[in-house]
Structure 1
Amino acid sequence: MANELWSAIVFVVGLLISTVIIYIAAKLLGQKEGIGRAFVTAIIGTIVYSIMYFIFGTGWIAAIVGGFVWLIALRGLYDIGWLKAFVIAVIVWIAATIVGLLLPTAPGPL
């Protein structure tokens, strides 16, 4: 039970962080959509990557195919071109990597 609860907490926190990162990246590139669109984008990204990792296993193929499918989703959700979708994705991936490196080192409850 504790593992499932911890997994759910990690999922929700990760989803919230992804939402904020996507929102900021989209705003940096002049998108007008709000935080709700960023939340939907984060959920779709999670679903896409989960499916790709289920189909292809962990590794480069799953990451590349998942990234490409997520670019298609970004284009559709934000009604933008390939270049802008790619730039948003790169900003999101860089920011998520930085947060992922810093977050585990944050002190937990005493």
Structure 2
Amino acid sequence: MANEITYAITFIISLVVSTVIIYIVTKLFGEKEGIGRAFLAAIIGAIVYSVSYFLFGTGWLAAIIGGFVWLLALKGLYDMGWLRALAVAVIIWIMAAIVGLLLPTVTGPL
């Protein structure tokens, strides 16, 4: 039971962090959509990668397929072209990697 609660809390925290990162990056690119659209993009990303890793295992193939499908989702959600969606996705991935390196080192109640 404790593991399930820990996983749920970790998922919620990562979803909130992803939402904020997506929101900031899309605002930097001049998008008008709000935090709700960023939250939807974060949820879709979580689902896409989960399905991709479930179907193709952990590895490059799953990451590439999941990344491409998430790129399609970004393109559609924000009504942007391929290059702009790719630029947004790359910056989101870079920011998420940086935050991922820093977040586990923050001390707190968890």
Distance in 1, Cα, partners of 2:27 & 2:61 = 30
Deviation at 1:20, TM superposition (A): 0.3
Equivalent position of 2:85 in the other structure: 85
Which stretches in structure 2 are left out of the alignment for 5+ residues?
none
Equivalent position of 2:63 in the other structure: 63
Aligned length in residues: 110
Q: Taking structure 1 as the reference length, what is the TM-score of the superposition?
A: 0.98
Query: Equivalences for 1:5-84 in 2 at 5 Å?
Result: 5-84=5-84
What are the superposed Cα offsets for residues 49-74 of structure 1, whole Å, 9 maximum, x if unpaired?
00000000001100000000001000
Distance in 2, Cα, partners of 1:108 & 1:78 = 35
Deviation at 1:108, TM superposition (A): 2.4
Secondary structure at 1:30 match in 2: coil
CA RMSD of aligned residues (A): 1.0
Deviation at 1:109, TM superposition (A): 2.7
